[in-house]
Amino acid sequence: MARRLRLGLTTAATICLVCGWLALAKDTDPNEESERKVKESEVPAVALEALRTLAAGAPFTEFAEEVEHGHKFYEGSWKGKDGNVDGLVTETGDVVEIEEMLPAASAPAAVRAELSKAAGQDATFEIERKTLFVYEGHFTKAGKTVEMLLTPDGRPYHEEGHGGDHDEDEHR
């Protein structure tokens, strides 16, 4: 009887440990996205220098550390001529993107028209101009020319509307 009790307790403890380990493993997914506010002193020097260059002397309003696709980025925010501007850089200071708030009237007419069509004629909306930094590489492999688009952190970048089975799309 004591043996059965010991076996039952051991089995229950093992199940609890495995379930706890699985829950912990789920919560520590390296590809999970996260963002947290940080102090200027927590931003790596090279990333901070890149953000200062983007801000062109404007004082920062806040900083954040973001983790996306297993990579760490730093964002600095400042006031631009039309509103808030966010710059996103890698830990090594490579610029990833710039987001600038715009007055609706400053956006191209086609953008305003599509937003009105999607949101409804009387809807109000905000417009943000996003500048992405993508690198394009070309090489020959197995006699075929290949083009690769990569983000500053080395991930493949896929342009909308460029799926397909073309040889050039092999590495996109």
pLDDT at residue 29 in the model: 59
Burial of 168 (C-beta count, 10 Å sphere; 0-12/13-18/19+) = middle
Q: pLDDT-derived band of residue 44, with 50, 70 and 90 as boundaries?
A: very high
pLDDT at residue 9 in the model: 43
pLDDT at residue 25 in the model: 47
How many Å apart are CA 131 and CA 124, to the nearest integer?
A: 23
Q: List the chain domain ranges.
A: 1-29, 34-133, 137-169
Q: Is the pLDDT of residue 134 over 70?
A: yes
CB 105 within 8 A of CB 121: no
- Put the strands of the sheet holding 127-132 in their side by side order: 34-38, 60-68, 71-79, 84-90, 95-102, 127-132
* Token reading at 62: 């806040």
Q: pLDDT-derived band of residue 76, with 50, 70 and 90 as boundaries?
A: very high
What percent of the chain has pLDDT above 70?
Answer: 75
CB 93 within 8 A of CB 45: no
Predicted confidence (pLDDT) per residue in 161-170, tens digit: 555 444 444 4
pLDDT at residue 6 in the model: 52
What is the torsional sign of CA 163, 153, 95, 139? negative
| Minimum mean pLDDT range among 50-59, 77-86, 98-107, 153-162 | 153-162
Class of domain 34-133: alpha beta
How many Å apart are CA 138 and CA 4, to the nearest integer?
A: 67
CB 2 within 8 A of CB 9: no
How many Å apart are CA 42 and CA 8, to the nearest integer?
A: 50
- Considering only CA atoms, which of 35, 82, 81, 93 is closest in space to residue 62? 35
Q: Is the pLDDT of residue 42 over 90?
A: yes
